[in-house]
Chains A and B, each alone.
Chain A
């Protein structure tokens, strides 16, 4: 069936895989129609998809350094785009984003702009040059461009801090999904999630992660788009909802007027016994607040996410795997295209979920109905039972008002198929998609951390004479240790303290953005400058975070720069100290300058 080499057959292989997955979904639908329980279907979805990823991971095993670190530099442009999209879209994008829009409306959507706009920076400032450089890891570039082990170690420090903040949230997400759909305790679910993650990456490193990420992208995008199209067509809102929900957005505005947007007082919420983390709708869906401060909050968040995107090592290292500089550049465009498919659907999903419970003219509407009736609806009962939803009859009239309906933002995506009255098989599919999103990101992050530790710390600093076999064994041990440490932290449920995923972007932006960009674009940048930039930038950002974060000192933010935006303090400090120190120190030697010239020319052999 598949003649010739693996790379040439990729479209056929993944075409067959996609077809097989759709057949599997149909089979599950048949089972459901024949009375198989929802729980069994959920378990089958998770087990089947994880088994496939593990199989790909095992088939991709390797003992070559090039294959382990950069997938042999032969990943075709479009497939690398898909893998990057899966690498990028985490549990946060898949599970939390539509819920964030559901509650935050326009204000929250700064994340959408930020998490896509950053790719323009990646493609024009960094990806093609790092590919030409031919490094294995991001600190590898910093260490070689600026020269020296200390500067390399600084880059590893920033990488580990940023990636580790991010990875615990992902392992946490796999644990949540595994525990809910497999019916096991969360603490155990975390370890099940971790084993699944390691099965994908341990034997084959970057090569295995690449091919599982492509498979995971296909599952997650089907799982995200199918319910949206189905719901929109079911309600007759339009066959292509992303472009056709203008009337529904306007209708939501009317309904908000009609019901009134009431912000419940914290005391009222507490005395009504609402479980922690649940919210009611109190912010306009499409309305934009007046005034400079509101605009600044939107823009500042978008800037942090964009600049952070361009400094996150697990994303940058995906572009080391393409066959040429040209394909690295083109691959960034494909990555963003595949990400766009999900991101431009998230607002549509939020709109559909919102209108299906808000609009009293729809059969699924719950607001304005009697509370007794609402409480007898199947999905309402189930989510209330697991404390993810709540009804508080503040005015005691027995009718559900908009401000009396509480739900956790993170469950909106998982619950939408049921809210809209779709069969359970769709919920199982969505669970598999959420799992794929969290696993693929976790794999990329754990690999980024353990590769930096094994290549930059162990091989380059500790034992430069180690042979390939020994290096790759060390790499795998570090991979397992990193993952286990992440799962241990996640199982302690410290995520509230470790903070949000946004912190990872701010850490990366504070310490890495300018050393990377100036390394290519400014020949005069020196080692001392880079060290000063990384340490002072990271230090200033972290100090401000401790000053402002509610979990630490909780001081009032200066100029609206809160704990989600501390990169706006770190990155300028990094830039200024890097430029000042570089100008105070002698310019880099002729060899380094020639190396920078070489990086800027796309054709020819890699620099390293």
Chain B
């Protein structure tokens, strides 16, 4: 029991760190380079403007859907799955 819970928590924690690393990239790292990114363009928008207008926002939406799906898999693998 204890081992099962521990294995589950280790996986959960790794997923949390991975998710937050991606979050850190899209929320902070790219905006450290805002002025140089803005020389590039995407869909006709300057890139840094695009990222804060919708790029990073969309990335967060996808990231949460993805990580909640991964977490469900982890829960099921360890026998902690829930019925809807």
Contact = CB atoms under 8 A, between A and B. Distances in A.
Given A302-B27, A344-B57, A333 B64 contact: yes
Nearest to B56: A113
Nearest to A328: B68
Contacts of B63: 120
Contacts of A245: 45
A603 B49 CA distance: 42
A195 B26 CA distance: 42
Interface in A296-349: 298-299, 302-303, 306, 323-327, 329-330, 332-333, 336-337, 340, 343-344, 347
11 contacts: A106-B49, A119-B60, A123-B64, A246-B44, A286-B46, A295-B34, A326-B72, A330-B68, A337-B61, A600-B5, A603-B75
B83 to A, nearest CB: 8
B46 to A, nearest CB: 5
Given A125-B16, A603-B75, A106 B81 contact: no
A123 B53 contact: no
A282 interface: no
Given A249-B44, A299-B28, A329-B68, 10 more contacts: A112-B52, A116-B61, A120-B27, A124-B19, A244-B43, A250-B44, A287-B38, A324-B83, A332-B68, A333-B68
A399 B56 CA distance: 41
B54 A120 contact: no
A116 B82 contact: no
A243 interface: yes
Nearest to A116: B57
B77 interface: no
B49 A116 contact: no
Interface of A: 106, 109-110, 112-114, 116-117, 119-121, 123-125, 128, 242-247, 249-250, 286-291, 294-295, 298-299, 302-303, 306, 323-327, 329-330, 332-333, 336-337, 340, 343-344, 347, 597, 600-604
B46 A249 contact: yes
A124 B49 contact: no
Given A113-B27, A600-B5, A603-B81, A246 B41 contact: yes
Contacts of B60: 116-117, 119-120, 336, 340
Given A601-B5, A603-B81, A332 B32 contact: no
Contact of B68 (A112, A123, A303): A123
B43 to A, nearest CB: 5
Contact of A124 (B28, B52, B67, B84): B67
Given A117-B27, A124-B19, A287-B38, A602 B82 contact: yes
A288 B48 contact: yes
B16 A124 contact: yes
Contact of B45 (A125, A249, A303, A325): A249
Q: Which 10 A-B pairs have the closest CB atoms?
A: A246-B44, A286-B49, A347-B53, A344-B54, A333-B64, A117-B27, A109-B52, A120-B23, A288-B34, A603-B80
A347 B71 CA distance: 33
Nearest to A125: B16
B27 A306 contact: yes
Contacts of B41: 246
B43 A246 contact: yes
Most A CB contacts (10 A, CB to CB) among B31, B41, B43 go to: B31
B52 A340 contact: no
B67 to A, nearest CB: 6
Interface string B1-29: 00001001100100110011001001110
A294 B35 contact: yes
Contact of B31 (A287, A302, A604): A302
Given A120-B60, A249-B44, A327 B84 contact: yes
Contacts of A306: 27
